Amino acid sequence: MTTSSSKRPQTSVLRVFQSKDQTRSFYNKISGVYDLLSDRSEAPMRKSGLELLKASTGERVLEIGFGTGHSLVAVAKAVGPKGKVFGLDLSDKMLKLAKTNLAKARLLERTRLRCGDAAQLPYADGSMDGVFMSFTLELFDTPEIPKVLRECKRVLRRGGRIVVVGMSKDAKRDPLIGIFEWIHMHFPNYLDCRPIYVRKAIERAGFTIKRALKKHMWIPVEIILAYNG
């Protein structure tokens, strides 16, 4: 078990300025080049998150914001033919790409993908063993983050786990956070995600933190493993 978060003062998390329709349109537009733009920096963080998740044979795992589907492939391999992987993403073009990648890996039959909003998950209570999010929670507007996490808690079975990989605001005097937030405020159509307090949000949603990693790509990243109950 990791120690509790630092007691130092925390500044507020910025709001999201674009609508979900605008966000969907943006990710549809960049879907074909998304991996070129971000995979080199995000892939090592995503891998660390998947290692914490430790999906295993026969499990039912949900990924929220699956993008082009790299994590879906990894989880589908881990759960085996007796498991099932569910995916929810706002972008229909990302969904199409993810299905193509899963089909190439001959794993499409183990998955159930759909477009939708994680603030209202279309899954039954207690139906999942695990939930995975990578660079997704910070896309939601600040008042919606607790709603998304409550929905994750609802669909997880008791004792189920969640892993969230997210850009972190919880860093001392990191100038890149300020630069990132300035761009977010002035050019939200190009950069509408922003750093958030990942662990703090998960704790407030009622999860029990098991591990909390802090890493750095070009901005601080938190990778949190927590349990439901």
pLDDT (tens digit per residue) in 5-18: 444 445 799 999 99
- H or E element that contains 140: none
Q: How far is CA 145 from the centre of its chain?
A: 11
Q: Is 69 exposed, middle or buried (0-12, 13-18, 19+ CB in 10 A)?
A: buried
In the chain, how many domains are there? 1
* pLDDT tier, 3 (very low <50, low <70, confident <90, very high otherwise): very low
Residue 140 sits in a domain whose CATH number is 3.40.50.150
Residue 108's pLDDT is: 98
Residue 134 pLDDT greater than 70, yes or no: yes
69 domain residue, yes or no: yes
- H or E element that contains 211: strand 208-216
1 domain residue, yes or no: no
Q: What share of the chain is helix, strand, coil (3-state, %, to 5)?
A: 45, 25, 35
Tokens encoding 220? 């601080």
pLDDT, one tens digit per residue, over 30-59 is 999 999 988 889 999 999 999 999 999 999
Distance (Å, whole) CA 42 – CA 223: 12
Residue 176's pLDDT is: 87
3 domain residue, yes or no: no
18 near 85, Cβ under 8 Å? no
Beta bridge partners of 168: 196
15 domain residue, yes or no: no
- Residue 95 in 3-state DSSP? helix
Per the structure, the complete domain to which residue 175 belongs is given by: 20-227
Residue 144's pLDDT is: 97
Q: Which amino acid is at 86?
A: F
DSSP secondary structure, 25-39, as one string: HHHHHHGGGHHHHHH
Residue with the larger pLDDT of the pair 140 and 1:
140
Per cent of the chain over pLDDT 90 is: 86
pLDDT, one tens digit per residue, over 158-189 is 999 999 999 999 987 788 899 989 999 999 88
77 domain residue, yes or no: yes
4 domain residue, yes or no: no
49 domain residue, yes or no: yes
8 domain residue, yes or no: no
pLDDT, one tens digit per residue, over 190-228 is 788 999 999 999 999 999 999 999 999 989 999 999 999
Q: What is the mean pLDDT of residues 100-114?
A: 98
Per cent of the chain over pLDDT 70 is: 96
Q: What is the mean pLDDT of residues 90-118?
A: 98
- Residue 224 in 3-state DSSP? strand
Distance (Å, whole) CA 207 – CA 224: 11
Residue 175's pLDDT is: 87
